[in-house]
Structure 1
Amino acid sequence: MARLLWTVALLGAFRSAVSKPLGLDKRWEELKVKHEWVDVPKGWVQVGRPPTDYPLKMNIGLKQERFDELLEHLYEVSDPEHHRYGSHLSKEEVDELVAPNSMTVESLEAWLTYHDIDPVSSLARTDAGDWVTVTIPICKVEKMLDAKYGVYKHVDTHETIVRTISYSLPSFLHEHVSVIAPTTYFGTMQAMKSHVLIEELVDDQVSTSETVSTQTDVPDSCLRDITPACLFALYNAVGYKPAATDRNVLGVAGYLDQFANYADLQTFLTANRPEAVGFNFTTEKINGGGDDQSIPGVEANLDIQYTVSLSWPTPNVYFSTGGSPPFIPDDFTPTNTNEPYLDWLKYVSSKPKVPQTITTSYGDDEQTVPRDYAIVVCALFAQLGVRGSSVLFSSGDSGVGGGDCLTNDGRNVTQFQPAFPASCPFVTAVGGTTGIKPETAIFFTGGGFSNYFPRPPYQNDDVADYIDKLDGAYDGLYNAKGRGFPDVAARGDRFRVVISGKTYHVGGTSASSPTVAGLISLLNDYRISHGRPPLGFLNPFLYSKGAAGLVDIVGGTNPGCGTQGFNATAGWDPLTGLGTLDFGKLQSLVLYEDED
């Protein structure tokens, strides 16, 4: 019953409505606001207007006819107590569920035709038809959306993008169109910063930790210097040898012209996993993404060096997504000013097979992401989960919130700031820890409660218990009914990373997420090698049978917004979730004798 009520509440945002036939007397110019900001989002200032014939690539997300059925499938195939556990859907089955109904398609095409856009020759469509892409002059976009686009510059990063602070659609289209991009989502490119902290230069490039093959305990050196050997020891994964490397894949999502470097990986492996030297990852370029080996990215190298070294010899793929070149007001050439994040999701969802494990270390304050955009992106993660992919996100590095923590809805009141996509209920959010024997929550670990998404049933009891322990503390600063995050945690500081041949210490939940991804990839390998399907969407398992394979973290706080933040305590907490992974225990929990 709890799951049913939550699904009904969530579908208030996701479900497509039943439309009345489109009459000939509809007034196409009767527009209704789809989304608008009270003011220009914080950190951005308008510096000009784009040329009137600037070509804008417009992505139109259509309401999905049977998304409620997809959610039912997702929870059934992800619940270890359900007889369908692990029976993930194919791409074709997902496409059928997310396809828009005929009235939605007809209504969109009629609107485009009214604006002299040929729905046959001008449009690119996804296989399911739930996304339509068309490139048209921005002057026409402004008329269609009753919008006024500007060139906006970020005061800190100095990047420039083309956005509007408001857009509208004909009233009848609201029940057919979920979102149009790019419009009001400003949190892209450098503003969509990765959660990574470069701490200091390490003088030597040779690991001081013991080798993986002989590691039986966590040495004190791991307090100051994290290597793959430390992580294997910390999380009880020493000695596991993957056996399903012909079927299992680990994916890393990269943005912002962050390129993973092949030579740096070899230098890293030589020092930290010598038996893996010579092994490398592959790069898939998306939407103009690059692979410039002359400019290694800190985030990209951190991710790849740890996913590869932990999962070796499992194939690793680095997704290099474009979409971040600056807009130059007097440049009339087509410059991609679209959301690279959305481009990545559309690309991966279109693949016949998806990686069994995916890690991403990027995100924004939830309130900076338009609600309609966040809902659509979150739905795309559900599609990956129901196809058998475990999607992991870092929870952020600002505690309960960075900056002044003021709301951007015109009230300007102080409120904790959850991070998105970590707040999406269909991803597994990863917080950060520090220390050994025991680990504690690291002070910057992001965590809290979503203001967009209700608390999902899989975590209802655990989160409710924590809120009871708060006993009224911070009431009004967070949404007690929202999805709580993170779900799990891992070490988040002093990771050795090779960048341009030199070794640095790097930290952040950007390190935590690929660490957990490496371990989950090994668990997926274990299941696949035993003839079982991959774990897929992890959270229903983690909050039930999997909890016995997690180590509770009970110390630390995550200050922010002028407060001490939440505290780590027994049970789930919004700093470290359910705790860190014990690979050995999880191995014994992920195989079920009653599975088909």
Structure 2
Amino acid sequence: MFWTSQALILGLAHLAASKPFSSQSKRWDDFGVKHAWDEVPRGWELHGPAPTDYTFDMRIALRQDRFDDLVTALYEVSDPTHERYGQHLSKEEVAALVAPHRDSVDLVESWLAAHNLDLASSERSHAGDWITIRVSVAQAEKMLGTKYNVFRHGQSDEYVIRTMNYSLPNVLHEHVALVSPTTYFGTMKSMKATSFIHEGGPTIQSDPNLARLTGPNSLATVPSSCATTITPSCLRALYKTSDYTPSATKQNRLGVVGYLAEYANRADLDTFFKSFRPDAVNSSYTTVLVNGGGDDQSRPGVEANLDIQYTTGISYPTPNIYYSTGGSPPFIPDSYTPSNTNEPYLDWLNFIVDQKDIPQTITTSYGDEEQTVPRDYAIRVCNIFAQLGSRGTTLLFASGDSGVGGGQCLTNDGQNRTAFMPAFPASCPFVTTVGGTTHVSPEVAVDFSGGGFSNYFARPSYQSKDVSTYLTGLGNQYSGLFNSSGRAYPDVSAQAQGFQVVVNGRVTPVGGTSASSPTFAGVISLLNDYLISKGKAPLGFLNPLLYSKAASALNDITSGSNPGCGTNGFSAGKGWDPVTGLGTPDFSKLKKLLG
């Protein structure tokens, strides 16, 4: 994932020639708070002090010197009216824009050396904007002016070592964006997979619509059965992809991101194909193991199977990749075995940006309440998404399954104020967020479709007009419950209920925006196939296109709402709305529009 670069050797030479660190030690004790929680994040409880000799990998994110230039480039290559549209950046060009300033590197290296840490053992990202170094709890507490404790997550019975606050020497604040693990409590077991088994929902063992999907007697309308039981043929008919056969299968790829203990199962996929996509029987997907991820075929995951069965079910024969990201096991209170940070989300992100070739489309179906993610952490993760988008990858995220917010909808800033609860990464402006629909002829918003407005990220210019129009129509309703100037989501939507998924050999009905995101990803992957087959660049970051010329090629969803927080939530309506976004895809119209 990381490697020590020549810059490290040069840096060490520079340090050897500089003044002794002891003469500068005073400034390392001049702390300023970087991030602090007012209360233990909900769902977690204090278990006890962390053992001082416990060691972990500390990740230090250095300020990216030319990140504003990267964002400028991202919007230029993603804007269909700009002369640079489609001229995506290379891995090396991105690295040059996000590399830290030499002053930042020198200061951080001096700080680490002042704490007697072995710089030669540190690892650097390709761009040099991340430094990873092994530290003990005692060292970390001294470096960050804090106290680490063991916390337990009640629902998953998972333990992590975290801190309620951390500080940095004031001289480092403008040079260091983030230190991890510190105040981000989320782990993959406490994050929400945005899917759920629909207990008692209808199931079918084979698809009666397959014979009529293509050919002279192809479906003129979407079968009424698709209102309750979704299969690939339903989605291919509904979103008009059934007549398209991918041809750029040597270049185009579709990625699905999976996390701790969620394994896609090949036997289940084969059973799924036999029942619902017979022409794909005997095809499969590639598993890429990230950071010790597994591929246990005896433990099929509902989330993983849902994702891979529907990305392949729509995009076949496009190659699909399932990224199984491991991360370290959770901390065990009675065993002080050294481990990593137990933050597999960062593990996957740092892995993927270091790859030379990245799938043109990637879908992810996990998320947290935005307020549970420290702002500095969320910003840094969101910035990584900008890097991927600038390289020509479309990133799709599920919008969540709690409407405008689940649970008590209380702020965690010490005020316990009632408010809508936006989700992250759905709220990041550099990703395309997918909400949920249900029924056919017409589609309507599904009532759990996550949607709202970020409290961390400002509204980006690409959606300003559409969101302003919606807010004007909304008036003063829900005033004070959401940040009307924040990044609004979802951007688009797709079916989210009644998906027929094979798990352990049996068909299981599954719902959630976890179904919506891979569905939309499948359609985008087909569009990328079309573009690549014509010698054109893939779509990359979608949103500037979606909110401009592509809006007319989407099916506007005008009814339904997403209740939550004791309210009826937002309502779908004409144009963009924070329930279904701009609408669901029409492949034939999008393909024609892209030429």
TM-score by length of 1: 0.94
**C-alpha distance in 1 between matches for 2:169 and 2:203:** 62
2:544 is equivalent to residue 545 of structure 1: no
Q: Deviations over 1:550-592 (max 9, x none)?
A: 010000010101100000010100000000000000001123x
Deviation, 1:48, is 2.2
The DSSP-based 3-state class of the residue aligned with 2:560 is coil
Query: In the TM superposition, what is the alpha-carbon distance from 1:327 to its structure 2 partner?
Result: 1.2
Write the letter of the residue equivalent to 2:228. R
Identity of aligned residues (%): 59
Could you say which residue in structure 2 is the equivalent of 1:393? 397
Secondary structure, counterpart of 1:28 in structure 2: helix
CA distance in 1, matches of 2:204, 2:396: 32
Q: Which of 520, 535, 555 is equivalent to 1:531?
A: 535
Q: CA deviation at 1:326?
A: 2.3
Q: Deviations over 1:262-303 (max 9, x none)?
A: 111000011111011111111111111111110001000000
Distance 2:92 2:479 in 1: 45
State the match for 1:164 in structure 2: 163
Could you tell me which residue of structure 2 aligns to residue 512 of structure 1? 516
Question: Are 2:330 and 2:342, in contact at CA under 8 Å, matched by a contact in 1?
Answer: no
CA change 1:180–1:209 in 2 (3 A) is: same
- Which residue number in structure 1 is paired with residue 350 of structure 2? 346
**Pair 1:361 & 2:365 matched:** yes
- The alignment status of 1:443 with 2:447, answered yes or no, reads yes
- 1:452-483 alpha-carbon deviations (Å, 9 max, x no partner): 00000000000000000011101100111001
- How far is the alpha carbon of 1:25 from its aligned partner? 7.2
Shift of 1:148: 1.3
- Residue 173 of structure 1 corresponds to 172
- Decide which moves more: 311-320 or 151-160: 151-160
Kindly indicate whether the alpha-carbon contact (under 8 Å) linking 2:27 and 2:171 is maintained by their aligned counterparts in 1: no
**Equivalent position SS for 1:320:** strand
Query: How many Å separate the matches in 2 of 1:329 and 1:493?
Result: 40
Aligned partner of 1:74 in structure 2 is: 74
Question: Residue 144 in 1 paired to residue 148 in 2?
Answer: no
| Residue 343 of structure 1, CA deviation | 1.0
Q: Distance in 2 between matches of 1:279 and 1:51?
A: 49
**Corresponding residue SS for 1:190:** coil
Offset from partner CA, 1:25-80 (integer Å, 9 cap, x none): 75211111110100111110011233221111111111001001101100000000
Q: Report the secondary structure of 1:153's partner residue.
A: strand
Quote the Cα distance in structure 1 between the aligned partners of 2:149 and 2:274: 49
For residue 29 of structure 2, give the secondary structure of its aligned residue in structure 1: coil
In the TM superposition, what are the counterparts of 1:42-53 in structure 2 within 5 Å? Answer: 42-53=42-53
1:573 equivalent to 2:572? Answer no
1:128 counterpart residue number: 127
Paired with 1:58 and 1:527, the residues of 2 have a C-alpha distance of: 42
1:264 partnered with 2:292: no
Measured after TM superposition, the shift of residue 353 of structure 1 is: 1.3
User: Residue type of the partner of 2:92?
Assistant: E
2:470–2:576 CA contact under 8 A, matched in 1: yes
Cα deviations by residue, 1:213-238 (Å, 9 ceiling, x for unpaired): 33442001101110000001111111
> How big is the shift at 1:208?
3.3
Q: Does 1:486 align with 2:490?
A: yes
Say whether the 8 Å CA contact 1:181–1:338 is kept in structure 2: no
Whole-Å separation in 1 of the counterparts to 2:273 and 2:449: 28
For 2:588, give the aligned amino acid. Answer: G
- Whether the aligned pair in 2 keeps the contact of 1:367 and 1:407 (CA below 8 Å) is yes
Q: Give the deviation of 1:147 after TM superposition.
A: 1.8
* Map of 1:59 onto structure 2: 59
Change (3 A) 1:203 1:415: closer
Indicate the SS of the match to 2:312.
helix
What is the CA–CA distance in structure 2 between the aligned matches of 1:268 and 1:324, rounded to whole Å?
A: 32
Q: Distance in 2 between matches of 1:49 and 1:441?
A: 47
Q: Secondary structure at the match of 1:27?
A: helix
Which residue, 295, 302, 305 being the options, matches 1:301?
305
- How has the CA–CA distance of structure 1 residues 25 and 117 changed in structure 2, closer, same or farther, with 3 Å as cutoff? closer
Over 3 Å counting, the alpha-carbon distance change for 1:25 and 1:58 in structure 2 is: closer
Shift of 1:337: 3.4
Q: CA deviation at 1:24?
A: 4.1
CA distance in 2, matches of 1:194, 1:216: 35
AA in 2 matched with 1:473:
Q
Worse-matched range after superposition: 185-194 or 477-486: 185-194
Segments of structure 2 that go 5 or more residues without pairing to the other structure are 1-18
1:594: which partner in 2? none
* 8 Å CA contact retained: 2:328, 2:339: no
Deviations 1:145-190 (A, max 9, x none): 1121111111222211111111111001111100011110012221
1:210 to 2:210 alignment: yes
Among 221, 225, 240, which residue is 1:236 paired with?
240
CA deviation after TM superposition for structure 1 residue 420, in Å: 0.4
Q: Give, as a single letter, the amino acid of the residue that structure 2 aligns with 1:571.
A: G
Q: Matched residue pairs, number? A: 570
**Cα distance in structure 2, aligned partners of 1:548 and 1:443:** 24
Query: Match of 2:232, as an amino acid?
Result: P
Distance 1:440 1:150 in 2: 47
Partner of residue 255 from structure 2, selected from 251, 255, 269: 251
1:291 correspondence with 2:295? yes
| Among 226, 229, 233, the residue aligned to 1:222 | 226
Say whether 1:183 aligns with 2:187: no
- Show the 5 A alignment for 1:304-453: 304-323=308-327, 325-453=329-457
Structure 2 counterpart SS, 1:490? strand
Q: How does 1:491-502 map to 2 (within 5 A)?
A: 491-502=495-506
CA distance in 1, matches of 2:335, 2:535: 55
Identify if the C-alpha distance between structure 1 residues 282 and 25 changes in structure 2 by more than 3 Å, giving closer, same or farther: closer
Alpha carbons of 1:471 and 1:483: their partners in 2 closer, same or farther (altered >3 Å)?
same
What is the TM-score with the length of structure 2 in the denominator?
A: 0.94
Q: State whether residues 25 and 114 of structure 2, in contact with CA within 8 Å, keep that contact through their aligned partners in structure 1.
A: no
| TM superposition shift of 1:323 | 2.0
Displacement after TM superposition at 1:138 (Å): 1.4
Q: Is the 8 A contact 2:159 2:333 kept in 1?
A: no
Distance 1:522 1:532 in 2: 13
Structure 1: tracts of 5 or more residues without a match? 1-20, 592-596
